[in-house]
Amino acid sequence: MNLKHALTRFYYKSHYNINVENLSSRSDGDFMPWAMAAVYAAKADNHFSHAEKDHIRGGFLASGRSEAFLAKLEELFDQDFSLDDIKASAAKLSESDRRGIIASTFDICSSDDLSKQEEQHLIKVAGVLGVSEEVVHQFKDIYVRKRQLQKDRMAIIGSDWFKK
């Protein structure tokens, strides 16, 4: 059994409810716009948290990205880039990919609770990617509902679950 492949399948099934058997048709370069958008928005509140970095690292590791991509990702954490850089990196992506970038970036920015600055940067990223502000608001609504469902789930499980 290939553990990396199993992790990738688990990640996509648990996060997106899709079955993925092979991501080899996607190059590491196809994922750079995701990384750039996530880092750009997560830094918006001048607090690029460990939770946000871990979410980004974990997502790309689980999605099967190469060691070289993961090394570039670590460098990206310390770089500054513009909305134009993000737009240029995403030039060949489909509309679904662009919406996926916004959805993923929303999840990443909410790793440590979504700040108003991060939300404003998400709207800017969406704008340069050709994704409407309405779609950003739809993702925010999903985020709010998801947070409440997570709280409800943990209330049922019990707060002492992780203390053992």
Sign of the CA dihedral running 30, 32, 35, 38: negative
Torsion of the alpha carbons at 12, 25, 128 and 81, rounded to the nearest 10? 90
Q: Residue 101 falls within a domain, yes or no? A: yes
Q: Is residue 164 part of a domain?
A: no
pTM of this structure: 0.83
Domain count, the chain: 1
For residue range 124-141, what is the model confidence (pLDDT) as tens digits? 999 999 999 999 999 999
Task: Give residue 8's domain range.
Answer: 3-157
Q: How far apart are CA 77 and CA 70, in angstroms?
A: 11
Contact 12, 19 (CB under 8 A): yes
The radius of gyration computed from the CA coordinates of the chain, to the nearest angstrom, equals: 16
CA distances for 90 relative to 27, 98, 152, angstroms: 13, 8, 37
pLDDT in tens, 44-84: 988 888 989 998 998 888 777 888 999 999 999 999 889 99
Is residue 21 a part of any domain in this protein? yes
Write down the pLDDT at residue 73.
92
Q: What DSSP letter does each residue of 9-26 carry, written as one string? A: HHHHHHHH----S--TTS
Question: Is 163 inside a domain boundary?
Answer: no
Looking up residue 28, the CATH number of its domain turns out to be 1.10.3680.10
162 within domain boundaries: no
CA distance 110 to 55: 10
CA neighbor of 112 nearest in space, from 31, 41, 11, 17: 41
* Closest C-alpha to 91, from 133, 42, 30: 30
Read out DSSP for 95-112?
A: HHHHHHHHHHHHHHHGGG
